[in-house]
Chains A and B, each alone.
Chain A
């Protein structure tokens, strides 16, 4: 059984194609990342799933039904979207009370959840006075309040500091280990690479790949960087042995399509001194795109945060 099923979904906004014949499925209990550069159609896909955007053709189903036909939608799906939908002039707590009322949750749960995300002190501040991080935490709490079976998150890491991202990661892991299903979008692979199991890669509204993250990260595209005494003659030696290699501007050798053992053994056999050797995994969205298509993503990601920053905090 699939929890989320998108089938041949197409969405055009006034002739402009946002999602193009997209199909994918998400299995229960999994954490799936929806990955793609800005403008790839991630938000449109998620909003169509949630019944906010009307599909031009195709279908987007949750537990086998369109969102609009779900009996208690908030108990099925918790969603965190950009512009999470809090009234700026209402306090954080009152905003949550609105959610609690619309799902019939007791008000005691509001205060309990505010405590859990450290918003107790700010509960009577108006929403417009909240920082981006506080807003994201409030949005997550609001999504979790009705105890949903599925979480759909659109770029939830935006505005969170590293500590917040870690908190989010823990939260999603415990949500999934309790049997919940998570679909999370991002344009920065590093933000979700430690959380997601499966990845759906989108480009220009089309599906580029759906695969376990490990599969996407592994494989021949991984390169090895080497610092040696004479880079140029080492490249010649590698090439003579049928291994593709090149010298970078930093005078380091980059070796492709092989493993560290082969390179090390070859160097030892020819008495080439190796000062440094590092295997470079696929670490960014750009690398995934290069690997899948041989091209960079169609639209450059925003200048900030820089695309190649990988979190190395756990």
Chain B
């Protein structure tokens, strides 16, 4: 399994897409931080004179959607480019391929979050110093916050693989992933008790960003884990029964 995960990471690294997405996510992190600082006087949630505002600032660059899309492409791209044939010839036990991808894209997600965090720190700390604003967070708080973003991003990668394994059409899978937030938001507003357990809210809680509905961190972790397991189990079942023609 370790060899398979390493193979998936190698496959990811040797595509051009990897570099583009990585650069894009670093850029988005920088933009996220800068826009949070710029809007801090207008929006109460990102008021940098509050601890909440500081939390928004340091989580603004968490690469959530980007990593979900990477996970989706990681498996649906194999169908799109017909590389799935070679992949399954090498590893005919299909569940092993999906599990390896799940782990690999969790690692990719974490790596993206590490990169984004580095950019966030590199932009935010000098910017705060220039503005003369105190950090308001202890070093431990900051480490915890970044740690949560790493975890959230790892889940995002595994979650993306689950979606891609379930919906093999890449375009449909990405559209579903991006648009699922709309019905989710409607449902959440109608039934807040259910809404806080929906993927977007749980992922937001996990990442440490300001979420619409409160949820304990450990519950959020369990909920996210649940989504990853359910989606990937469904994805594995479908993958096992698919004809690769």
Does B90 lie at the interface of the complex (its beta carbon under 8 Å from any beta carbon of A)?
Answer: yes
Cβ-Cβ contact count across A and B, 8 Å cutoff: 81
Does B92 lie at the interface of the complex (its beta carbon under 8 Å from any beta carbon of A)?
Answer: yes
- Are B7 and A97 neighbours in the complex by a CB distance under 8 Å? no
Q: Which of B79-87, B174-182, B187-195, B202-210 contacts A (4 or more CB under 8 A)?
A: B79-87
* Alpha-carbon separation in the docked complex, A122 to B53 (Å): 54
- Are B86 and A99 neighbours in the complex by a CB distance under 8 Å? yes
Does A94 lie at the interface of the complex (its beta carbon under 8 Å from any beta carbon of B)?
Answer: yes
Task: Label chain B's interface by main secondary structure.
Answer: helix
Q: Which of A32-40, A46-54, A165-173 contacts B (4 or more CB under 8 A)?
A: A46-54
* Alpha-carbon separation in the docked complex, A67 to B243 (Å): 14
Task: Label chain A's interface by main secondary structure.
Answer: mixed
Within 8 Å CB of A86, what residues of B? 81, 83, 86
Does B91 lie at the interface of the complex (its beta carbon under 8 Å from any beta carbon of A)?
Answer: yes
Within 8 Å CB of B245, what residues of A? 13, 43-44, 47, 52-53
A89 CB contact (under 8 Å) in B3, B16, B89, B244: B16
* Alpha-carbon separation in the docked complex, A81 to B86 (Å): 9
Residue of B nearest to A143 (CB): B89
Within 8 Å CB of B241, what residues of A? 54
- Are B243 and A54 neighbours in the complex by a CB distance under 8 Å? yes
Does A83 lie at the interface of the complex (its beta carbon under 8 Å from any beta carbon of B)?
Answer: yes
Contact flag A74-B14 (CB < 8 Å), given A83-B85, A85-B84? no
- Are A73 and B90 neighbours in the complex by a CB distance under 8 Å? yes
Within 8 Å CB of B16, what residues of A? 89
Of listed A13, A47, A91, A98, residue having the most chain B CB within 10 A: A98
Does A84 lie at the interface of the complex (its beta carbon under 8 Å from any beta carbon of B)?
Answer: yes
Within 8 Å CB of A281, what residues of B? none
Write the B41-81 contact mask toward A (1 if CB under 8 angstroms, else 0): 00000000000000000000000000000000000000001
Interface size class of A (residues with CB under 8 A): 35 or more
* Alpha-carbon separation in the docked complex, A312 to B221 (Å): 69
- Are A85 and B89 neighbours in the complex by a CB distance under 8 Å? yes
Interface size class of B (residues with CB under 8 A): 20 to 34
- Are B85 and A102 neighbours in the complex by a CB distance under 8 Å? no
Write the A60-92 contact mask toward B (1 if CB under 8 angstroms, else 0): 000000011010011001010101111111110
A70 CB contact (under 8 Å) in B6, B14, B84, B92: B92
Of listed A51, A85, A98, residue having the most chain B CB within 10 A: A85
Shortest CB–CB separation between residue B41 and chain A, in angstroms? 44
Shortest CB–CB separation between residue A75 and chain B, in angstroms? 10
Some 26 contacts from A to B, beta carbons below 8 A apart, are A47-B244, A68-B92, A73-B89, A74-B89, A83-B82, A83-B85, A84-B82, A85-B82, A85-B85, A85-B87, A86-B86, A87-B14, A87-B15, A87-B81, A87-B83, A88-B81, A90-B14, A98-B10, A98-B11, A98-B86, A99-B86, A99-B90, A101-B7, A101-B10, A102-B91, A104-B3
Interface, chain B (partner A; CB < 8 A): 3, 6-7, 10-11, 14-17, 81-93, 241, 243-245
Given A47-B243, A98-B14: 19 more A-B contacts, CB < 8 Å: A43-B245, A47-B244, A51-B89, A52-B85, A53-B243, A73-B90, A73-B92, A77-B89, A84-B82, A85-B82, A85-B84, A85-B86, A85-B89, A86-B81, A87-B11, A91-B14, A97-B14, A101-B6, A102-B90
